[in-house]
Amino acid sequence: MHRIDNTPEPPGMPPSGPGAKGAAIIGGAEQHSAGPGPFVMASDTLEGNKVVDPSGEEIGTIDHIMLDVLGGRIAYAVLAMGGFLGIGEKLHALPWSALTLDTRRKCFVLGVERERIKAAPGFDKEHWPTMANSQWATTIHEYYGISPYWEKDRYDPWA
């Protein structure tokens, strides 16, 4: 995977792309910028960020960032799309590594077209899936063509 802006990764920075364990970062991340971002950030600063497809069309927003507490990792992001003032919204779990943080546009880019997301398995605020279910989590990762994060490290969050 190449960075969208075609600039090299800054030396000494965490890797982005297929070998990375988290979301990729594009858009001119500065190693010595003021504040902690974009390599370490408070999750609430990312909640509410827009998510766009590869063409730049807005898909929705990050509603929650879900943690694998025992493993100390981000399990996935919850995308909210549709609805009005939270009513009628459809939620989708997105594998964290399926997202790319674009620091210039201050949004996440998901490498999937809007129509595919609309057809993706989703849920509503009143009926969350059993997210600690390994079969459900594997299905979500497979839908987006992402290897489950626990397989890369031979880590089993359900052990």
pLDDT in tens, 66-113: 988 888 888 889 999 987 766 678 999 999 999 999 988 889 999 888
Mean pLDDT of the chain: 76
Bridge partners, 73 (sequence order): 68
Instruction: Find out whether 79 and 144 touch, Cβ atoms under 8 Å.
Output: no
pLDDT in tens, 9-37: 333 333 334 444 567 776 665 555 555 56
Work out whether the CA dihedral 74, 37, 55, 59 comes out positive or negative. Answer: positive
pLDDT in tens, 125-134: 888 887 778 8
- Rounded alpha-carbon distances, angstroms, from residue 58 to 36, 51, 81, 105, 146: 27, 6, 9, 12, 21
Instruction: Find out whether 157 and 150 touch, Cβ atoms under 8 Å.
Output: yes
The pLDDT assigned to 113 comes to 86
